[in-house]
Structure 1
Amino acid sequence: MFDVNDYFDGKVKSLAFTAEGGKATVGVMAAGEYEFGTNCIEHMTLISGQMAVKLPGEDAFRDIAVNETFIVEANVKFQVRIGEDSAYLCLYK
């Protein structure tokens, strides 16, 4: 079945499910800036909208293109800047 996740007063929502190869979420983020923490490696793909990401060790945000995937290491915090309401897919490894 699906689990519903709700973060940042409803500005970020996702549905968790089991995909081929493991856990996954598909979600939406309202325009704004957010910081997330990871428990495992995450492969995040922007499906639609505008996103910039700042990963640990990076000095500045970098733009993510629609259909681009970036990888976040386990047990770190990272920041995203959402320019317009956006959708994403996240695969957990």
Structure 2
Amino acid sequence: MEFKNVKVIKKANVYFDGRVDSRTIIFEDGSRKTLGFMQKGEYEFGTAAPEVMEVLGGEMLIKRAQDSGFIKIKEGESFSVEGDSSFKVVVNDYADYCCSYK
């Protein structure tokens, strides 16, 4: 996949002592995405706006408020998260991802 005519924020967003990082991409229409990488670990993220997370490499286990247990999301799959919520992620090896904000 390739993005054209975008602005990239060079400075990384770094979380969890450097185990998760991402870069923000802003499109001509003002929409944004982040491209990121998660190392092995357990994380909990909060959301302000609804988002869709695509797994580009590796895999993760996720648990949103509406999930009764963890769900495996593999390379090529995606999931949605409601705004003003949170979700848990477990990464056993690594996860390369793209997050789209609505």
TM bucket by the smaller chain? over 0.9
- Alpha-carbon distance, 1:72 to partner: 0.2
Structure 1 stretch displaced more, 17-26 or 1-10: 17-26
Query: What is residue 10 of structure 1 aligned with on the other side?
Result: 18
Cα distance between partner residues in 2 of 1:20 and 1:86: 28
Which is bigger in relative contact order (C-alpha 8 A, separation at least 6)? 1
Return the index of the structure with the highest Cα Rg. Answer: 2
Query: What is residue 74 of structure 2 aligned with on the other side?
Result: 65
5+ residue gaps in structure 2? 1-7
Query: What is residue 19 of structure 1 aligned with on the other side?
Result: 27
5+ residue gaps in structure 1? none
Query: Which one of the candidate residues 88, 97, 100 is aligned to 1:88?
Result: 97
- Alpha-carbon distance, 1:63 to partner: 0.3
Cα distance between partner residues in 1 of 2:27 and 2:71: 28
- Alpha-carbon distance, 1:19 to partner: 3.4
Letter in 2 for 1:62: I
Root mean square deviation of aligned Cα: 1.3
- Alpha-carbon distance, 1:41 to partner: 0.5
TM-score, normalised with respect to structure 2 = 0.85
Equivalenced residue count is 93
TM-score, normalised with respect to structure 1 = 0.93
Letter in 1 for 2:36: G
The sequence identity of aligned pairs, in percent, is 38
